[in-house]
């Protein structure tokens, strides 16, 4: 049963990926400005023949349909293309940037989930108390704050004023040799970007979790448990939490894509060497193969995460597996 | 002005040259003499796509590559040629033959000796196909390039071209290794990402998205130079983060544009920080309003004159660029050769601008225009907003059309604009950096660095051509003066200001700016107090 569902999901994912590839290609080529012209402009001049030569090198002299056919053919062979600007394989460029992005987004995702769930749980359980109000104000402020501004305030406070964490980069200029020190070095660099990205999403989860906890707390089975004299802590852990977390879980699986999007800003402010920044630079320079490569990889990541959460969801909530859900 | 005598450069001359540079800002520490060793931290912004100099001419590629590669010459801040890979040079009286004697003990970073074959390969082969500026120059003027033994090269021109001596700067003709590039596809050669040059610093590693690491080349040909042990370029994409990095003393030098002008001013007022606006005399960036002369209202001279009167260039220089700019009077920067100050002035006078618009006889939709700003940061945005406001006051109906760099380049390259902000590098001589914006032969699509406004005047074409061919400095000056007056009378472009971009560095760093290309140069004389 699960096996068949997995295959169906995978098939659907593939269709989505094909759709994304077609759409990306069309949109990217619709944007004004082409790479050859920009390249020539940056070179401080150039005549028509130079621009034409560049265009030919980049394969931009062919009709759009032909260009797409070549692109699609390359994709089928697993080739993401070649960046003339960087003179490198796109797949290689993405491969060296992905770990940094995954480290940042997954840490931020963890922070968002943990803080969101804890804040929401406390708020919902102790609803309408001072604690609840305080937590909800904090989450509201975090949610309303632009991501880049929060990041800059973090740098100002924790880096410039207090000097606790480095303001940018993924590692120090003088990288320590010992593996443990190297890990700690990356860890120290990770704190500010991961928190500024994570806190923004934590706010959403906290509010959702709070509402969900309140909702579940009013359910009959919780009332029954109370009536039976089950201790409060156990009710919260066993009855409320496991049920209340499901909506957060579904939202989180959708939002992980946005998280990678949000990483563009965070990676720029903190000079984090991930694919978000690669994408940003590539868009500014109209480096088509890189833009398409990053978009496609991001889409693939989102699809895979969605499939994974879908399957996980079945484990967390057995009603779906048995078809007993409402 | 060309010197037609032969230069034999000795150590004494080099010392004299260094003395001449005493006019440049330097700190008290400089008097103690260079300290060997240390790490200099700079910023690569944006991260270079490649380090293949000559194939990619973006500023960060030149900035990083400039420490690894060299050209035949470099130039003093007075724009006199100085030795680099050429130790001396001579120009024949007829202005047709340029002979360079090369350094005899220079080697490539892989140990291969540097010879005239590298120069001939670079100039006659590689750069002819990959470098748009050199290609144009070589095709127009160069008859042949020949080696004379291992350490001399002669360039023979078809006709005299007085600007030719300025074609040997780092970004104009970086000398590349023949043994690395010959017979390969230049664009995809792996050396573009792990370069091998002759410069004072050799490439060590490139941690993509993070940093580029160089180290001193121990066998560098000039054994009195290359003091620093390491040079590190950090990739910091955000302007506020770059500011923080400098303030936190994680970065030693900020090159022009690394931070916004208002930040530069604040930083320069900090203790232990030095700021200089010298070191860009060669490029002399010159900002202007580009007006599309092909259609109303800018095909009307009175409207163009109105633009000049409506915009207060002093206000822009002082209040938007915080004094890091000087009002421009015409097409040639006051910092390069052949500048003519005596041209028709257009003092700020909004009433005059209004009456000129009225006299133009245009009204309604004819006065409706869009302004495409240069998307290079806040100061350019403010400049565009100010200009739009002033022109609206003068009677035009201006709306700002914001685009990113690609959109801007496309608008200019395809002539789909009314007004646009732009700036140009002058490359030390009007024939190299100025004429291209006005020659009718250069009304071409496909690049934002051509005659995009569509200015066409046979008289200007003739004057530019004669001036470029003239070998008599006085005659050249007369011709360039005449063409400048003509262009200013025609208001071919709306010149606004000469940029005075600051290089900022800690006072423990010395000899940062030692030539007309400032921090872009090799930094072989730069040293850091312990």
| Distance from C-alpha of B225 to C-alpha of B527, rounded to nearest angstrom | 9
C-alpha distance from residue B493 to each of A285, B316, B374, B489 (Å): 27, 17, 15, 10
CB contacts < 8 A, A to B, total 171
Task: Answer yes or no: are the C-beta atoms of B236 and B259 closer than 8 Å.
Answer: no
Instruction: Give the minimum alpha-carbon distance from B183 to chain A in angstroms, rounded to a whole number.
Output: 17
CB-based burial of residue B296 (10 Å sphere; 0-12 exposed, 13-18 middle, 19+ buried)? middle
pLDDT average, residue stretch A176-200: 90
ipTM: 0.81
Q: Which 3 state secondary structure label does DSSP give B292?
A: coil
- Indicate if the pLDDT at residue A115 is higher than 90: yes
User: Do the Cβ atoms of B132 and A85 come within 8 Å?
Assistant: no
Assigned superfamily of A94-316: MetI-like (1.10.3720.10)
CB contact under 8 A, A274 and B245: no
pLDDT at B17: 43
Using the predicted structure, report yes or no on whether residue B157 has a pLDDT greater than 50.
Answer: yes
- Asked if B16 reaches chain A (Cβ–Cβ under 8 Å), the answer is no
Residues in B 450-469 with any Cβ partner in A closer than 8 A: 450
How far apart CA A266 and CA A170 sit, in angstroms, is: 12
**For chain B, how far is it from start to end, CA to CA, in angstroms?**
41
| Lowest model confidence (mean pLDDT) among A263-267, B20-24, B403-407 | B20-24
Confidence of residue B375 (pLDDT cuts 50, 70, 90): confident
**Percent of chain B having pLDDT more than 70?**
94
Cβ burial of A9 (10 Å; 0-12, 13-18, 19+) is: middle
Look at residue A47 in the predicted model and tell me its pLDDT: 65
Residue B209: closest C-alpha in chain A = A273
For chain A, give every domain's residue range.
1-77, 94-316
pLDDT band, very low/low/confident/very high, at B38 (cuts 50, 70, 90): very high
CB-based contact B446 A46, cutoff 8 Å? yes
Residue scoring higher pLDDT (B485 or B471): B485
User: With bands split at pLDDT 50, 70 and 90, how would you rate the model's confidence at B33?
Assistant: confident
| Cβ neighbours of A38 in B, within 8 Å | 405-406, 409
Pick from B192, B209, B240, B412 the residue to mutate for testing the A interface (most A CBs within 10 Å): B209
Tens of pLDDT, residues B261-318: 888 889 988 889 999 999 999 999 999 999 999 999 999 999 999 999 999 999 999 9
pLDDT for residue B28: 44
Cα angle, residue B8 at apex, residues B4 and B11 outer, rounded to 5°: 140
pLDDT for B303 equals: 97
Locate B490 and state its tokens: 């025609």
3-state secondary structure of B275: strand
Residue range B323-337, pLDDT digits in tens: 899 999 999 999 988
Residue A91 at interface with chain B, using a CB cutoff of 8 Å: no
For residue A84, the chain B residues in CB contact (below 8 A) are 187
Q: Give B233 or B405, the one with higher predicted confidence.
A: B233
Q: Name the nearest CA neighbour of B431 among B344, B342, B331.
A: B331
B173 contacts B167 by C-beta, under 8 angstroms: yes
Q: Is A46 on the interface with B (CB under 8 A)?
A: yes
Q: What's the pLDDT at A46?
A: 57
Examine the pLDDT at A133 and tell me if it is beyond 80. yes
Q: Most B CBs within 10 Å: which of A41, A95, A97, as the mutation test of the B interface?
A: A41
Tell me what the pLDDT averaged over chain B comes to: 90
Question: Residue range B498-503: average pLDDT?
Answer: 92
Which pLDDT belongs to residue B99? 97
Distance from C-alpha of B99 to C-alpha of B120, rounded to nearest angstrom: 12
For residue B499, report the phi and psi dihedrals to the nearest 5 degrees. Answer: -75, 140
Please check the confidence at residue A187 and state whether its pLDDT lies above 70: yes
Percent of chain B with pLDDT over 90: 73
Per-residue model confidence (pLDDT) at position A1: 55
Q: Is the pLDDT of residue A238 over 80?
A: no
Average pLDDT over chain A reads 85
Helix, strand, coil content of chain B in percent (nearest 5)? 35, 20, 45
For residue A269, the chain B residues in CB contact (below 8 A) are 238, 240-241
Å between A98 CA and nearest CA of chain B: 12
| Residue in B128, B409, B427, B452 to test binding to A, most A beta-carbons within 10 Å | B409
- Asked whether B421 and B373 are in contact (CB, 8 A), the reply is yes
At A78, the pLDDT band (50, 70, 90 cuts) reads: confident
Compute the C-alpha angle B244/B247/B248, nearest 5°.
80
The greatest distance separating any two alpha carbons of chain B, rounded to the nearest whole angstrom, comes to: 70
Summarize pLDDT for A20-65 with one digit per residue, the tens. 999 999 988 887 777 777 777 666 555 677 778 778 888 888 888 8
Comparing C-alpha atoms, which of B518, B501, B489 is closest to residue B170? B518
């Amino acid at each position: 049963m699960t096996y068949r569902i997995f295959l169906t999901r995978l098939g659907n994912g593939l269709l989505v990926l094909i759709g994304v590839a077609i759409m990306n290609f069309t949109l990217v080529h619709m944007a004004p400005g082409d790479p050859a012209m920009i390249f020539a402009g940056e070179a401080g001049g150039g005549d028509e023949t130079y621009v034409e030569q560049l265009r030919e090198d980049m394969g931009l002299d062919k009709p759009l349909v032909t260009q797409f056919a070549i692109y699609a053919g390359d994709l089928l062979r697993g080739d993401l293309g070649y960046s003339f600007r960087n003179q490198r394989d796109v797949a290689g460029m993405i491969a060296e940037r992905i770990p940094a992005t995954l480290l940042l987004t997954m840490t931020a995702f963890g922070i968002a989930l943990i803080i969101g769930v804890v804040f929401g749980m406390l708020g919902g359980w102790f609803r309408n108390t001072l604690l609840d109000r305080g937590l909800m104000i904090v989450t509201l402020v975090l949610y309303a704050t632009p991501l880049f501004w929060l990041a800059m305030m973090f740098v100002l406070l924790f880096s410039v004023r207090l000097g606790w964490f480095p303001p940018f980069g993924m590692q120090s200029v003088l990288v320590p040799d010992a593996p443990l020190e190297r890990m700690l070095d990356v860890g120290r660099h990770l704190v500010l970007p991961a928190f500024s990205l994570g806190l923004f999403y934590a706010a959403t989860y906290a509010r959702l979790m709070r509402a969900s906890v309140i909702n579940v707390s009013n359910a009959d089975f919780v009332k029954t448990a109370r009536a039976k004299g089950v201790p409060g802590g156990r009710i919260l852990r066993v009855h409320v939490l496991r049920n209340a977390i499901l909506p957060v879980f579904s939202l989180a699986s959708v939002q992980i894509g946005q998280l990678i999007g949000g990483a563009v800003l965070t990676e720029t402010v903190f000079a984090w060497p991930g694919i978000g920044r690669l994408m940003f630079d590539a868009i500014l320079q109209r480096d088509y193969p890189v833009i398409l490569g990053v978009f496609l990889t991001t889409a693939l990541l989102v699809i895979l995460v969605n499939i994974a959460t879908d399957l996980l969801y079945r484990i967390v909530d057995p009603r779906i597996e048995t078809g007993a859900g409402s | 002005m060309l010197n037609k005598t032969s230069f034999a450069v000795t150590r004494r001359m080099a010392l004299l040259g260094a003395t001449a540079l005493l006019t440049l800002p330097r700190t008290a520490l400089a008097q103690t003499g260079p300290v060997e060793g240390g790490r200099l931290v700079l910023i690569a912004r944006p991260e270079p796509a490649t380090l293949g100099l000559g194939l990619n001419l973006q500023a960060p590629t030149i900035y990083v590559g400039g420490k690894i590669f060299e050209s035949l010459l470099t130039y003093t801040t007075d724009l006199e040629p100085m030795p680099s890979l050429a130790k001396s040079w001579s120009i024949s009286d007829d202005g047709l033959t340029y002979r360079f004697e090369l350094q005899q003990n220079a080697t490539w970073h892989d140990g291969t000796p540097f010879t005239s074959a590298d120069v001939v390969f670079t100039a006659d082969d590689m750069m002819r196909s990959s470098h748009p500026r050199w290609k144009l120059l070589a095709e127009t003027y160069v008859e042949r390039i020949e080696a004379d033994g291992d350490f001399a090269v002669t360039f023979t021109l078809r006709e005299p071209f007085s600007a030719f001596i300025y074609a040997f700067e780092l970004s104009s003709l970086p000398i590349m290794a023949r043994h690395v590039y010959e017979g390969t596809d230049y664009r995809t050669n792996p050396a573009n990402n792990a370069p091998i040059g002759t410069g004072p610093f050799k490439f060590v590693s490139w941690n993509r998205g993070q940093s580029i690491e160089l180290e001193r080349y121990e066998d560098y040909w000039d054994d009195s130079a290359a003091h620093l042990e390491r040079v590190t370029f950090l990739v910091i994409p955000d302007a506020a983060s770059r500011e923080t990095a400098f303030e936190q003393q994680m970065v030693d030098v900020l090159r022009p544009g690394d931070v916004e002008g208002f930040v530069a001013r604040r930083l320069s007022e900090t203790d232990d920080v030095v700021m200089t606006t010298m070191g860009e005399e060669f490029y002399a960036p010159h900002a202007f309003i580009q007006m599309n002369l092909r259609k109303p209202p800018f095909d009307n001279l009175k409207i163009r004159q109105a633009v000049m009167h409506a915009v207060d260039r002093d206000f822009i220089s002082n209040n938007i660029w915080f004094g890091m700019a000087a009002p421009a009077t015409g097409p040639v920067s006051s910092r390069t050769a052949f500048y003519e100050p005596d041209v028709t002035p257009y003092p700020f006078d909004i009433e005059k601008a209004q009456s000129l618009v009225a006299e133009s006889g245009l009204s309604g939709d004819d006065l409706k225009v869009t302004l495409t700003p240069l998307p290079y940061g806040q100061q350019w945005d403010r400049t565009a907003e100010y200009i739009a406001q002033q022109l609206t006051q003068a009677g035009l109906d201006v709306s700002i059309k914001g685009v990113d760099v690609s959109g801007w380049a496309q608008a200019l390259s395809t002539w789909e604009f009314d007004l646009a902000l732009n700036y140009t590098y002058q490359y030390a001589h009007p024939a190299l950096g100025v004429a291209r914006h006005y020659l009718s032969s250069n009304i071409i699509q496909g690049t934002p660095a051509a005659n995009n406004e569509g200015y066409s005047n046979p008289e200007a074409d003739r004057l530019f051509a004669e001036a470029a061919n003239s070998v008599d400095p006085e005659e050249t000056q007369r011709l360039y003066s005449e063409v400048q007056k003509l262009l200013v009378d025609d208001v071919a472009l709306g010149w606004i200001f000469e940029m005075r971009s600051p290089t900022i560095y800690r006072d423990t760093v010395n000899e940062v700016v030692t030539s007309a290309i400032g921090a872009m140069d090799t930094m072989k004389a730069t040293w850091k107090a312990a």
